[in-house]
Chain A
Amino acid sequence: MGVKVIIPTPLRAYAGKQESAEIQAATVAEALSGLTAKYGELKKHLFTDEGKLRSFVNVYVNDEDIRYMQKEQTPVREGDTISIVPSIAGGNGNLQRISGK
């Protein structure tokens, strides 16, 4: 038994098509590290090349957003559920076209 990490649908192909994984961890950072150690292909989708959590990757511990707790150092206990939830962003990158409006 450890913490249960819920893997979002778009990343399940990189995690053996599993919906979740049990990871032994004391913090969110340890849980994510354990998850990417188990499924290496997940790493580039969760972390930047500098090793920081991507800005559109959101992490919840038992439905609490870790940004309002201790971020990646948020402690977790056996039986906790960590959810990785996408946020979606994009758009036309052409800034000049709309300047002055």
Chain B
Amino acid sequence: MSGFLLKVGEELVRSIQAHGVETYPHECCGALLGTDGDDSREVLGLLPLANRRDDSPRNRFEVTPDDVRFAEKTAREKKVDLIGWYHSHPDAPARPSEFDREHAWPWYSYIIVSIQKGEPRDMTSWRLHDDRAAYDPEAIESVASSLKT
């Protein structure tokens, strides 16, 4: 086990699921705002974003550099960090695909929620290895607090 731990407020878990249901059968995406500590990191707020992959939104998502800069600015204004991203896998498992790995950045947490036939199922989180070869699973711990976004 990698030992990575990601704390996520209960209502934020529900918000990610609801975003995935809302955009089903297309993929949803958004930014994770929070804090990064030595032992664990915590998601304190979400920034839902538009999926810019108009050509293939059922099995792809994209966040443009302008949206990334907007997410970084939002995090700075709220005095937190941009610690990762979430997206949905409609009618597919909550596991990173090869396409996910090829396009991933290290350090960020990547939450994936599976939406099966319009209903939220598993939610997982992952971090890319330093050598880009694979992901480490990151345990999600549901907690009871959040930052208002």
Contact B60 A87 (CB under 8 A): no
The distance from the CB of B35 to the nearest CB of chain A, in whole angstroms, is: 13
Contact of B106 among A13, A60, A95 (CB under 8 A): A13
**CA–CA, A41 and B106, complex, Å:** 12
Contact with A along B100-114 (1 / 0, CB 8 A): 100111111010000
Number of interface residues of A (CB under 8 A): 28
Contact B105 A88 (CB under 8 A): yes
Contact with B along A83-101 (1 / 0, CB 8 A): 0011111111111011001
Contact of A44 among B58, B72, B131 (CB under 8 A): B131
Contact with A along B59-93 (1 / 0, CB 8 A): 11111110011001000000001100101011110
Contact of A90 among B58, B60, B90 (CB under 8 A): B60
- Interface range on chain B: under 10, 10 to 19, 20 to 34, or 35 or more? 35 or more
The distance from the CB of A5 to the nearest CB of chain B, in whole angstroms, is: 16
Q: CB-nearest residue of chain B relative to A93?
A: B97
Q: CB-nearest residue of chain B relative to A87?
A: B65
Contact A89 B69 (CB under 8 A): no
Contact B90 A92 (CB under 8 A): yes
Q: CB-nearest residue of chain A relative to B83?
A: A9
Task: Chain A residues near B41: list those with CB within 8 A.
Answer: none
- Kindly state whether residue A56 has any CB partner on chain B within 8 Å: yes
With A11-B107, A45-B105, A45-B106 as contacts: A88 and B92 at CB distance below 8 Å? no
Q: CB-nearest residue of chain B relative to A54?
A: B103
Contact B92 A94 (CB under 8 A): yes
Task: Chain A residues near B89: list those with CB within 8 A.
Answer: 91-92
> Could you list which residues of chain B lie within 8 angstroms of chain A, going by C-beta atoms?
25, 27, 29, 53, 56, 58-65, 68-69, 72, 81-82, 85, 87, 89-92, 96-100, 103-108, 110, 130-132
> Could you list which residues of chain A lie within 8 angstroms of chain B, going by C-beta atoms?
8-14, 41, 44-45, 56, 58, 60, 65, 85-95, 97-98, 101
Given contacts A45-B105, A87-B63, A90-B110, 20 further A-B contacts (CB under 8 A): A8-B105, A9-B107, A11-B106, A41-B130, A44-B131, A45-B132, A86-B65, A86-B68, A88-B29, A89-B62, A90-B96, A90-B97, A90-B104, A91-B27, A91-B56, A91-B99, A92-B97, A93-B99, A98-B90, A101-B58
